[in-house]
Amino acid sequence: MTDATRLRAEHLTKSFAGRRVLDDVSLSVAKGEVKGIIGPSGAGKSTLIRCLNGLEPLDTGRVWLGADELTARKADIDALRARIGFVFQDFNLFTHLRVADNLMLGLRRVRKMDAVEAERCARAELDRVGLADKWQAWPAELSGGQAQRVSIARALAMAPEVMLFDEPTSALDPQSVGSVLRVMRELVAGGMTMIIVSHEMAFIEAVADDVVFMADGAIVEEGPAGQLFNTPHAAATRAFIDGIAAAHRGEATTP
């Protein structure tokens, strides 16, 4: 491990009801690095990324955030999790709170900021995702794309050292996808350390430094984005990428 390693996972295994969902998965992301995770449905991508911030308990394996081990017996998992941003596929904005309070809940309760500082911080993050005018809105009043950008702002407000995205655009209509990807591109440009699970192949190829292809709970192949997409080593990787490309062509030619 170099000093630049932000998040590191070693030999993760996890089973649901006797079925192996993660099978000896190791992965690490360096400071400022963007890692893409792709793979077919059921490959274990969500399970993996949820294990990385302890939302899902592991069977075996270890996870470090910088020098701190999340899987250590005496780890303050809540404090560590506050340093990891997580963006869910279906946003999970707090339904009973306005956008403002969605952003401020963690600042007040976890970061223990006073009301003035929390508001200043929350407004800055909401502005960053282009939704300053939604300060007083209820989550149910937002479009999918807006809700996802608010959820990104909520995560960013905690000043995370690394951001994890689990298919952030999969629940969105095509028009909203662009607005969320734009925000994510700005994060990449700002040097944020990110792990992104996504089916948006073009986006992953464009922003990721490194891409991991997962299938059946294991990492099949990992490599630089350009290499993995254009000259994959494994037949399974090629089949998956070709399949996605074919699906996209089909979509484009369908009237």
Ligand X SMILES: Nc1ncnc2c1ncn2[C@@H]1O[C@H](COP(=O)(O)OP(=O)(O)OP(=O)(O)O)[C@@H](O)[C@H]1O
Residues within window 147-166 making contact with ligand X, judged by CB under 6 A: none
Helix (H) or strand (E) holding 185: helix 174-189
CB of 53 to other proteins, least distance (A): 7
Residue 243 interacting with ligand X (CB under 6 A):
no
CB of 243 to ligand X, least distance (A): 14
194-197 and 34-38 beta bridge pairing: parallel
Q: Which amino acid is present at 148?
A: Q
Q: How far apart are CA 168 and CA 177, in angstroms?
A: 9
Q: Which amino acid is present at 155?
A: A
Q: Which residue is nearest to ligand X (CB)?
A: 46
Q: 46 or 179, CB closer to Mg ion?
A: 46
> Which region, judged by CB under 8 A, interacts with other proteins, from 9-17, 127-135, 139-147, 196-204?
139-147
Residue 169 interacting with Mg ion (CB under 5 A):
no
If 0-12 CB within 10 Å is exposed, 13-18 middle and 19+ buried, where does residue 10 land?
middle
Total interface residues for ligand X by CB under 6 A = 10
Residues within window 13-42 making contact with ligand X, judged by CB under 6 A: 16, 21, 39, 41-42
Among 6, 35, 45, 154, binds ligand X (CB under 6 A): 45
Partner whose footprint covers residue 244, from other proteins, ligand X, Mg ion, none (CB < 5 to 8 Å by kind):
none
Partner whose footprint covers residue 135, from other proteins, ligand X, Mg ion, none (CB < 5 to 8 Å by kind):
none
Q: How far apart are CA 102 and CA 227, in angstroms?
A: 40
Q: Report the 3 state secondary structure along 90-149.
A: CCCCCCCCCHHHHHHHHHHHCCCCCHHHHHHHHHHHHHHCCCHHHCCCCHHHCCHHHHHH
Handedness of CA 74, 79, 81, 83 (dihedral sign): negative
Residue 242 interacting with ligand X (CB under 6 A):
no
Residue 198 interacting with Mg ion (CB under 5 A):
no
Instruction: Say whether 25 sits in a helix, a strand or coil.
Output: strand
DSSP state of 129: T
Residue 102 interacting with Mg ion (CB under 5 A):
no
Question: Which residue shows structure tokens 């655009």?
Answer: 169
DSSP state of 61: E
- Footprint of other proteins (CB under 8 A): 53, 55, 78-79, 81-86, 88, 90, 92-96, 105-106, 109-110, 138-141, 151, 154-155, 158
- Footprint of Mg ion (CB under 5 A): 46
- Footprint of ligand X (CB under 6 A): 16, 21, 39, 41-47
